[in-house]
Amino acid sequence: MTKGNKNMSGVQTILGVEVDANDPYKGSVLLARKLAEMVRSDELSETVARNALLENYPGDKYAQSLDVFNRVLSGKKLPSLLLIKRPGESLLKLYWKEQKHVAVVLVMLLAFIIFKEVL
């Protein structure tokens, strides 16, 4: 019923929202955010939005998109797209993506302390 149309460039249109069909996790989050905004502005019913998410992003992707959908509906802040865990990715890898600058500063500080102790 609400299955999206996928074109050759990897863009899928679902209920008028264009999402990246090549990255279903990122696409599910984008769709959930846009649909929740449409529900909040009374352009779309909540049931239709939830059904569209379920039909287009089953399984883990549905659970993730539903979490984003509920957060936007309740007005909570969304996590960075970098912090969205994909299957097989470790939490350490995700943390590294987000907090690289902190690790670099800590390594530089440690190197400075060791350098001062040696000299």
pTM of the complete model: 0.56
Provide the pLDDT for residue 91: 63
Per-residue pLDDT tens digits for 20-76: 677 777 777 777 888 888 888 888 888 888 888 778 777 767 677 778 778 888 887
Q: Reduced to 3 states, what is the DSSP secondary structure of residue 30?
A: helix
Q: What H or E segment, with its residue span, contains residue 18?
A: strand 17-20
Chain-centroid distance of CA 36 in Å reads 14
The rounded percent of the chain whose pLDDT value lies above 90 is: 7
How far apart CA 42 and CA 38 sit, in angstroms, is 6
Provide the pLDDT for residue 79: 63
Q: How many residues does the chain have?
A: 119
